[in-house]
Amino acid sequence: MAVRLVVLGPPGAGKGTQAERFARERGVPKISTGDILREAVQIGSELGRQAKAVMESGRLVSDDLMIGVVRERLERNDARRGFVLDGFPRTVTQAQALDRMLDEEAPLAVVDIEVPEEALVARLSTRRICKSCGWTAVPGAASCSRCGGGLVQRRDDDEAVVRERLKIYAKDTQPLVDYYHKRPTFRCVDGDQSPDAVAADIAAAVAAAVRGHE
C-alpha cells in the first residue's frame, strides 16, 4: 500500500529532518514546498513562471498557485507509491485541495510533531546553517557535514524573532490541526526526545493509520 504522509510542526521541531528520514527509509519522495517551487521556476513550467513573478515581487505565493505546483508534483510517477509532504498544506484551503487530489487507495497519515516552546527557542537560537548549501548543521558541528561549508546563524533564529515566529505559527496553524484532528489517521508525536525516538513514533503512527484503513 502506498505511504502518504503529511508532517506538521512548528519551526525547530525537526519536521524537515524527520520527513527526509522517513521518505528515505520508505523509498518515497520527500516533497517540500520550497524545493518544488525552486524546481518549477528552474524548469520554466507555466506554474513556475507564475511563482517566479510572485516571489520576485516579494508577495506570498497564493493558495491556488501553491496547490497547482503540488498537484503537478504529485502527478509524477515516483509519487505513485507514496510521498512525504513537508510544508504543505499550510492552510485549510490547501488541505481540502489535497484531499481532492488523492484517491482512496491509501490513507493520508498526518503527524503533528509537538515540542514545548522553551525547547524550540533553545534549539533555534543555537541552530547554525551552512552558508553555502543551507543544510542545518548538527549541534556543535564546526562545518557542514554535507559540503564542508562554513556555518552561520539565520537572521530569523534570533530569540526574539523565534518567539514571534512561534506565535504566528500557532495562530496560523491551529485551524489546520483542527481540520485533521478528528481523523483516525491523525497523530501527535512528542518531538522533545531523541531524533531516533521521534522517528520511531512517526513510523508507529503511520503504521497505525494504515492498519485503520485496511
- Give the model confidence (pLDDT) of 151-180 as tens digits: 988 776 778 888 888 998 888 888 999 999
Residues recognised as catalytic:
15, 90, 127, 154, 165
Structural domains for the chain: 3-213 (3.40.50.300)
User: Residue 142's beta-bridge partner residues?
Assistant: none
Q: Write down the pTM of the prediction.
A: 0.81
Mean model confidence pLDDT for the chain: 87
CA distances from 117 to 7, 27, 52, 61 (A): 18, 33, 34, 28
Residue (of 123, 155, 118, 158) closest to 138 by Cα position? 123
- pLDDT reported for residue 77: 93
